[in-house]
Structures are given as C-alpha cells and as structure tokens.
Structure 1
C-alpha cells in the first residue's frame, strides 16, 4: 500500500472542508492569548479563555458525537459549525467584553462544532479503500500538522500587524467556508459499511480469511452498548490526553517563556510553526513502514521522549535550542496520535468508531486543558519554565496510568480469546483452533505485533 491509494477528488474535497473546520481549532488558543494579553494579568486570562474553549470541546465532542447518525450526519454537523461561527464572531466583535462573556463565547466556539473532527475522520475512512485506511489516517495527520504549522504564524502576524481580534474573525470565516464543503461530501458514512466491515470490491481472499480469524472481536462486541465499548477503551483515551497535553504547554506558555528568556515574543509563531512542520514530517515517516514493539509500549516510549523535548524547551536559554526541541517534539507527537487512532480503530467495532474518534478528540482536549489550566494558574506564582516542568510531570502521570490500563485490558482480551467459536458451532463442545494469520489481513494489532501490511 502507498499514499497513491488515498488520492481522489472526494478526498481533496474532504481536505478542503477539513481545513475550514479545523484551522480555527488550531488558531484559537494562541489567538485568545493575544486577544487579552494587554489587559492586567493578560497571559493568565488568555490561558483561562483557552481552557474554556477546550472545555467546550471536551463536553461537545462526546455529547454530540454520540448523537450523530452515520447515514445522515450532514445536518447535525452543519448546525454545530454554524453555532461555532457565532461563537467566533462574538469573540472577534467584542474583544473588550467582560471575561465571563468572552469565556462563554469561547465555550460555544469550542463545543458546538466539536463533533466534526470525529465525523470527518470517520468519513475519510469511508472515502478510501479499506486497505488504505492507515495511509488515509497518516494523510489526515499530515494535513492537521500543516494546519498547525500555518496557524501560529497567521495568528501572530494578524494579531501584531492588524488587530488582536483579526485572527478570531478569520477563524469565523474559515469555519463558515467549511459549511459549503459539507454539501460536496456524502451525507454521512454508510451504516452498512460500519456493520459489514469492508466495502464491496475491497476485500481479497486473504482479507476474508483475516476477518474470519479476527471475527471474535466483532461478535463479542455486537451485544454491548456503545457507551460500554467506549468505557472499555479508556486507556487509549488517557494516553491520547497525555499526547496533546504537551502541545498545550508549548503553545500557551511559550510567549511568556520567551519573554522570560529575553527573546522577542514574535518568535512564538515561527517556533510553533516548526513544531507543526515536525509533526507533518513525523506522520509521513510513520506511515511508510512498520515499527517494533507493542502499540502501548510504543506510545509510552514516544510520550516519554516528547516530555524530554518539552523539558529541554523549559531549560534551554537559546532561541535555536528551543526551536530544535519543539521540532523533534512535534515529530514524536504525531507518531503518538497516529498510534492511538489506529489502536482505537482496532479496539472498537466500526459502528462506534465515529463516537470513539470524538471521545479521543475530547480526551486529547482534556489533556490540553489540564496542562494549560495548570500552567495558567502557576504563572501567577512562578516562572514560565517552572510551569512547563509541572505540566511535564502531569503528562508523565497520565502516561503511566494509560499504560497500566492497556496492560490490564490486554490481559483480559487474551483470556477472552483463548477459545474461538465459529458461527453455528456448539459452544459446549471442544474449542475450535483459531484460523492462521493471513498476510493480507488488515488492521493494527492492539495486543501485540505490527500491521500485517508492514505499512504502519
């Protein structure tokens, strides 16, 4: 499999729509900091507003994502995006409003369109052949990294050269443009695909054999409610939160850290652009080959390496050293998020994937909000570098909890998989040996091993 399997007109339309919906997400936290930084205690207030925005995402993503209809998601997505536009317009039109009013606008801008991230990801996997899902998710990660690369520079330039409100008004215009893109995409992702697993014409004999070998997961989850399935995948959400927590540290505290170091605050934009460029490069490289180790171990190692990079950001005094640490951290972060999304696709049945992606989005936002709020509170009493180190400690705690949960989950799954029962067989009879692994089977193993296609 190569990235050529992803190239199509529909994926291009999806990409344009995704840019309009997601670039405001990348712009808003830093834009809120610039919006109020001239006020007394402006940096702390900006961090609080960014936390309100992310809390809206945390609440909106799972709440609205669970209510999306896979076959007719467009009207729900359009309503959420329209409400998000209203929130951004409120922030841009009334920058001098009371902090409570600004927090309410930020909450609306974050919460109303929050389900679109998971829905667009589920739609992308519907637009490509099943064999190219891994490359599609890598492409999505590259696109998101590109958005995060452009956004800091755009926010910094507009806020300093035009007006502090300009980035938020641009975010409103971009989100409005994504509404038009929705009508060029399918109304939803077919429920039949979700239940059937692989679309017609995409299944080879080897893949069918692989589905028979791995069919026990779908059979075991068929009678469970979506909420119970999502609760069972909690370790993935915890490590997803840890993965984005460090981005919250880098973005929200970096301007104050640069001032502490005597570096011009305008460098925050180019540095965060470097972080995102590193993320795009990391996503591309990750999708080219297989990687050793269990997914849970791989994620833990990658997150620990990320924390080392962010620790260096807090300790290095020079501009070049901070920039290099951010770029390497971005490469590692994209690999973490890809590992989490692919593991989630393996852990959940297709009918609940859109909700799972939304919960993962909310969990990542929770990690962002937790470290951002912690850093914002600490900025009142300590230096920015110390606030970053405190956030690094919180991230390590989340990583340890998630890794422990995945170890327990893998143990339970191994016990459940000891006996494989074929359809129509007598469950009281002797156990039926599992079918042999077939090289053509799709999917990333969550209990160990690498992708059979050797592309992840």
Structure 2
C-alpha cells in the first residue's frame, strides 16, 4: 500500500482513535459476543436431550423474544445524561441469565426458558446505549467513521462466535459457551463503569422525553429498511445449508461461506468510512439494498460453490454499508436525547425481522426449493425497501414544508437540502 494511501486512511479514521474509544471497543465486544454466541449455544446446550433440537429452537425463541420486547421498552427509559446506571443494571441482569443457563443446564425447560428470556431481555438496550455513547465520544465530523469502526468490530464478533461456540461445546462441554458468555458480560460491566456516565448534558430533556414516543414513531421508515436488510441476510444464512445440498455441494461449506460473508461485511464497513459518498442517505440506502439483493439473488442462482461464496461476500459488503446509512439516517430523524431509544427500537426491529425470517424460511422450504425461497425473500426485501424510501421522502417533504412555513415566504432555502444540522453540529452528509 502506498504512503499516500496509508496517510489518507490515517486521516480518515484518526478522530476515532482515542483511549476512551478503545475502552468502549473492549466493552462492546465483551457485551455483544454473548449475543452472537447464544442462539447456537442454546442448541448445543440441550441437543442431547429427547427432542433436543426442538427444545433448543424454543429456548432460542425465548431469548430473541426477550430482546424484541425489552429493547424498545428499556431503550425508552435510558437517561441520556446518566444512562450508564441502566446499562450496568442491564448487563448485570444478562450476566445472571447466562450464568443460570450454564450452571443449571439440566434444569426443567421452563426454568431454562426463563433464564434465556432474562439473558436476552435484560441487556437488550445495551447496544443502543453504547452506540449513542460512541457517537458522543468522537467529533461530529467522525461519526460516520465511528459507526464504520463499530460495524467492523461487530463483523469480527459474528465471524468468530459460531466457531468458538462449536469448538467449546463439542471439545469441552455444552454448558461452557454459556458460562463464557456470562463471564464476558460480567467483564463488560467494568468497562462500562470506566466510560462517561451519559452521552448528553440533559438539556431540553424534559421536552424531548414528553414527545419521545411520537418522535420515535416518525422514524418508522428507518426501522423498516433496517429490518429488511437483516431479514434478507438472515434468510440467506438459514437456507444456505439447504441451498448447498440442492446444488450438490457439501453442507460443511456453509460455515466458511458465512464466515466469509461476515468478513466481507467488515471490509465493506471499512471502505464505507474511507471517503465521502454522493447522494442523500435514503437514496444511498436504496442503492446499497438493491445491490445486496442482486448479489443474494446471484447466490441463489449460481451452481458453483466458488460463485456462491463470492456473491455472499459481496452481499455482506453492501449490507454493512446499508446498516451504517440506517444509523446515520436515524441521527437525522431523532434529537440527541432520543438516539439511544431509537437505536434500541432499530435493534428490536432487526430482531423481529430475523425471528420472522426463521418462520418464513421454515414455511417456504416445505413447499419450494431453497433457491426459490431466497428469491422470494429478495422480493420481500425490495418491497420493504421501497416502503422505507417512500416513508423517508414523505417525512422529509413534510419537514421541509413545516420549515418553509416557519421562516416565512421571503426566505429562500437551498434546493435539495437534507434538513437541519444534527445535534447542533455539522451535517453528517458532508462527511459521507
């Protein structure tokens, strides 16, 4: 790599490199690794029981249900000025849930389901709160790079977690991955205590709190598009083994292919943060979602293993960019005091989309081939993407009309403006 390229990369991500961000990164990995490990770990935990795979799926459903229900509820209760207290309490509850699953691995299924629900629900607002805190730790001009760095970090977590779970469960003991998850979440409490108490000075919090629900509802197009990307990739992941079997390819290749997709997502996030990109966020999101749909469709249609793997890697690269644009769009749509709640709702929407994907995949594979099931998911994704784009365009038009009415008929606004600067700083569009 040339000196000029290295210098450019250094300048692009330089504002993200700080001691506080390093502490945040270690805390985020420790708190989110358990989330990535749990669904597979629950299957391994009970698979040797009678009806073990069905029980494992039920426990995983209880875990995801806890996330979906608790994320928006707890996210709404996060205080931007003192959010650390609730984040630490949530991490402590998650630690109890994971430890209970590991220690009481032979307990009654109802007891395990209760611990799984607690493990999923208690820390459900952590991701949203930590993301809001991350964007407060960096200058406004570096928010896009911070979100790209977070996406790279999480891609690594999701690439490593399945391998770690399978290795520990098969080579050591089925309960070990969940005990490790509890230990990691407990360690994240220490990191959280070393970070700032909140991500806002609390100004105008009363007004924002009273109107928070209405403000969050107005951002529904962002949740729809974010859930659409997760739904498509989730359908690809869940149907990949069946697709490989349909193509006469060894099912064992599904693991390396999914790891490659996760690594592709990390590379895509890195590239997204390297430079500014043209177009409004909603248009950029549509382009990325359509490109991702094309590559997922190619993965469903290509007969060879190498072609499928390459298509999945490219789809993963575009998905990370799409998710970053969704987080940036949420910053445009919400005031700073509601960002953590908005990220939590987006997290819940993604969880609901993934849960729905499991049911959709199971139903479709009963009546159609795996490749057809993936193509059906692509069509659904494009419909949801169009709905999200329409909602954002309609919301922006309403905001523009309201702004024009407020400033009066004699004030001329620039054509194509995205809206007011975010959080009193520079518009993130200038950095993308």
How would you bin the TM-score normalised by the shorter chain? 0.7 to 0.9
Candidates 295, 301, 304, aligned match of 1:309:
295
Report the RMSD for the aligned CA atoms in angstroms: 3.1
Do the aligned residues in 2 keep the contact of 1:54 with 1:368 (CA within 8 Å)?
Answer: no
Q: Which residue of 2 aligns with 1:352?
A: 338
By how many angstroms is 1:158 displaced? 2.6
Note the 1:45-64 alignment, pairs <5 A.
46-64=56-74
By how many angstroms is 1:262 displaced? 5.5
Change (3 A) 1:63 1:407: same
Do the aligned residues in 1 keep the contact of 2:328 with 2:428 (CA within 8 Å)?
Answer: no
Do the aligned residues in 2 keep the contact of 1:419 with 1:431 (CA within 8 Å)?
Answer: no
Note the 1:120-135 alignment, pairs <5 A.
120-135=130-145
Candidates 274, 280, 284, aligned match of 1:288:
274
Note the 1:149-228 alignment, pairs <5 A.
149-192=159-202, 225-228=211-214
Q: 2: distance between equivalents of 1:389 and 1:53?
A: 28
Candidates 11, 15, 20, aligned match of 1:5:
15
Q: 2: distance between equivalents of 1:128 and 1:325?
A: 34
Q: Residues 421-447 of structure 1: CA distance to partner in whole angstroms, max 9, x if unpaired?
A: 3xxxxxxx7644458999xx9659xxx
Change (3 A) 1:362 1:304: same
Q: 1: distance between equivalents of 2:351 and 2:177?
A: 21
Q: 1: distance between equivalents of 2:124 and 2:319?
A: 21
Do the aligned residues in 2 keep the contact of 1:91 with 1:168 (CA within 8 Å)?
Answer: yes
Do the aligned residues in 2 keep the contact of 1:306 with 1:329 (CA within 8 Å)?
Answer: yes
Q: 2: distance between equivalents of 1:231 and 1:81?
A: 27
Q: Which residue of 1 aligns with 2:8?
A: none
Do the aligned residues in 1 keep the contact of 2:156 with 2:263 (CA within 8 Å)?
Answer: yes
By how many angstroms is 1:22 displaced? 0.9
By how many angstroms is 1:140 displaced? 1.2
By how many angstroms is 1:352 displaced? 1.0
Note the 1:5-404 alignment, pairs <5 A.
5-36=15-46, 46-95=56-105, 100-192=110-202, 225-258=211-244, 263-379=249-365, 384-404=370-390
Change (3 A) 1:316 1:434: closer
Q: Secondary structure at the match of 1:189?
A: coil
Q: Residues 357-414 of structure 1: CA distance to partner in whole angstroms, max 9, x if unpaired?
A: 1111111112111112322344566655454444334333322321221222122122
Moved more, 398-407 or 328-337: 398-407
By how many angstroms is 1:60 displaced? 1.1
Q: 2: distance between equivalents of 1:160 and 1:223?
A: 48
By how many angstroms is 1:125 displaced? 1.4
Q: Number of aligned residue pairs: give it.
A: 416
Which segments of 5 or more consecutive residues in structure 1 lack a partner in the other structure? 197-220, 422-428, 445-449
Q: 2: distance between equivalents of 1:164 and 1:384?
A: 30
Q: Residues 314-335 of structure 1: CA distance to partner in whole angstroms, max 9, x if unpaired?
A: 4444432332222111101100
Change (3 A) 1:277 1:95: same
By how many angstroms is 1:268 displaced? 3.4
Structure with a larger share of its residues in helix: 2
By how many angstroms is 1:291 displaced? 2.2
By how many angstroms is 1:62 displaced? 0.9
Q: 1: distance between equivalents of 2:98 and 2:313?
A: 29
Q: Residues 248-270 of structure 1: CA distance to partner in whole angstroms, max 9, x if unpaired?
A: 22344444555555555544332
Do the aligned residues in 2 keep the contact of 1:44 with 1:376 (CA within 8 Å)?
Answer: no
By how many angstroms is 1:452 displaced? 5.0
Do the aligned residues in 1 keep the contact of 2:262 with 2:316 (CA within 8 Å)?
Answer: yes
Q: 2: distance between equivalents of 1:255 and 1:160?
A: 20
Q: Residues 6-32 of structure 1: CA distance to partner in whole angstroms, max 9, x if unpaired?
A: 111111000000001111112223333
Moved more, 72-81 or 342-351: 72-81
When the two structures are superposed, what TM-score results if normalisation uses the length of structure 2? 0.85
